């Protein structure tokens, strides 16, 4: 059976790399293209996740995304998670290369049933994350930028497991802190390593992520 902490990890996975955001989250600005597609891989103790995302946004102002991920639990168990997020990008008045983004995320995990001697275990989980990211961009070369960022999110997860005629529900509330950096090439391609640490989650471990993204379409205002 999946442990309490493993299911709660859903929240950390979904806020680890805000797919919709931009400079504030270590990615290319929507000024390079109002649409973005991306892929990511994440790993922590006993859990791996692979996701794909699509986002739309403006250089300054509202943005949003949808993300689909496949999660693999060791030694057994898999699930699929779907998340939607929205936020607002704010540029620092004194320095247009610094950006702050408050945003929220909602996710649901569709867990595969697990067969045990006691019967079939059915599980589901919902997550809500509220927080913000801050980042800055620095030119390394005429075609490459370095975009470090930091994030903080309040995460709440509600889950249910049932087997036979018995069921159990639980909830977790904790703080997820993250740091990372994006390497942006030609203003449109982003390569981004990051680490997110859940604070206040019993049995939680640091989550390591590598993400790739491509901006395209007309430049956002």
CATH number at residue 74: 2.40.128
Rounded distance between C-alpha atoms, residue 104 and residue 96, angstroms: 23
Is 192 inside any structural domain? yes
**Domain span holding position 161:** 4-200
Q: Which residues of the chain have pLDDT under 50?
A: 1
Is 13 inside any structural domain? yes
- Can you give the pLDDT at residue 97? 87
**Model pLDDT for residues 19-57, shown as the tens digit of each residue:** 667 888 899 999 889 999 999 999 988 889 999 999 999
What pTM value is reported for the model? Answer: 0.85
- Can you give the pLDDT at residue 216? 93
- Can you give the pLDDT at residue 115? 63
Is 217 inside any structural domain? no
Burial status of residue 117 (CB atoms within 10 A of its CB: 0-12, 13-18, 19 or more)? exposed
Is 56 inside any structural domain? yes
- Can you give the pLDDT at residue 120? 67
Query: Distances from the Cα of 26 to the Cαs of 2, 47, 149, 170, 175, in angstroms?
Result: 32, 24, 5, 33, 20
Number of domains the chain contains = 1
Q: Contact 4/125 with Cβ under 8 angstroms? A: no
Mean pLDDT, the chain, whole residue set: 85
Rounded distance between C-alpha atoms, residue 46 and residue 220, angstroms: 40
Is 206 inside any structural domain? no
């Amino acid at each position: 059976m999946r442990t309490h902490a493993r299911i709660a990890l859903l929240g950390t996975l979904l806020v680890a790399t805000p797919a919709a955001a931009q400079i504030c989250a270590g990615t290319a600005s929507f000024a390079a293209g109002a649409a973005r597609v991306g892929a990511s891989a994440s790993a922590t103790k006993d859990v791996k996740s692979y996701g794909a995302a699509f986002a739309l946004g403006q250089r300054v102002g509202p943005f949003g995304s949808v993300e689909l991920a496949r999660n693999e639990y060791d030694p057994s168990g898999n699930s699929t998670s779907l998340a939607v997020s929205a936020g607002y990008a704010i540029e620092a008045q004194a320095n247009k290369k610094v950006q702050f983004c408050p945003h929220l995320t909602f996710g649901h995990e569709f867990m595969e049933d697990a067969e045990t001697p006691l019967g079939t275990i059915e599980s589901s989980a919902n997550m809500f994350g509220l927080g913000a990211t801050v980042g800055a961009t620095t030119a390394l070369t005429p075609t490459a930028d370095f975009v470090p960022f930091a994030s903080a999110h309040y995460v709440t997860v509600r889950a249910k497991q049932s087997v036979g005629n018995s069921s159990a529900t639980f909830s977790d509330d904790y703080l997820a802190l993250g740091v990372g950096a994006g390497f942006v090439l030609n203003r449109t391609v982003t390569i981004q390593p990051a680490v997110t640490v859940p604070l206040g989650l019993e049995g939680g471990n640091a989550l390591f992520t590598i993400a790739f993204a491509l901006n395209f379409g007309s430049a956002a205002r």
